[in-house]
Amino acid sequence: MQNIIAAAVNLIGAVLVVIGVVGIFKETEGEPKEKFVSVFKFFTTQSNVLYGVTAVIYAVARMQHTGELPQWICILKLIGTIGVTITLLTVFLFLWPVVFHDLAVLLKGPNLLLHLIVPLTAIVSFCLLERTTQITAAGALWGLSHFAVYAVGYMINAIRHAENGKVAPEHDWYGFLSGGMKYMPVALLAMTAGASVITYVLWAVNRAA
């Protein structure tokens, strides 16, 4: 029964991602094509789409297997779950108190799904319904892969557009470098440390479930 519930919850999560992303795209209607494409520069969009894909793969595999799933599927699901967890915590621990100061703005419209409901669905499912011993402590590091690629790309983009040690908001859309390029090492260290903690907390809770 738990396997069926896990598959169902994952499919629901994937549907919510589709609804949320479609909602984001609808907000760009009438805008230049570049605006439509730029939606994918945000970690929120990337992490949710990635989670939706991993959720479908997991659900299909879960309906076909009653025992342990292949390791690659478990790791893929960990990667997807970590991504939306980072999105959720970034919203509540950084964007809300530091950048926007208004939680309602961050949970308005489709962002309610992408910033809150989908991440919570992913976390609850991974921690309570998807227990696996297929992921070792070393293997859990794969969970950081999407974050690592995104962080490197974000910082390279910031460096390319930095002027006099500053980065314009359109090239530092999360405001991580609002204090100047000199804070890049601090930002990278803080983000990497936070993502690592998230990874191993999720991994540990999953194994203990």
CB within 8 A of 110, min separation 6: which ones? 19, 20, 21, 22, 23, 24, 27
Quick: pLDDT tens for 95-136: 999 888 899 999 999 999 999 999 999 999 999 999 999 999
Q: In terms of Cα–Cα distance, which of 46, 9, 3 is closest to 24?
A: 46
Quick: pLDDT tens for 147-191: 999 999 999 999 999 998 899 988 899 988 888 899 899 999 999
d(CA 208, CA 7) in angstroms, rounded, equals 20
d(CA 19, CA 110) in angstroms, rounded, equals 8
Q: Which amino acid is at 200?
A: Y
Within 10 angstroms of residue 71's Cβ, the number of other Cβ atoms is 15
**What does pTM read for this prediction?**
0.93
Residue written as tokens 């590091």? Answer: 141
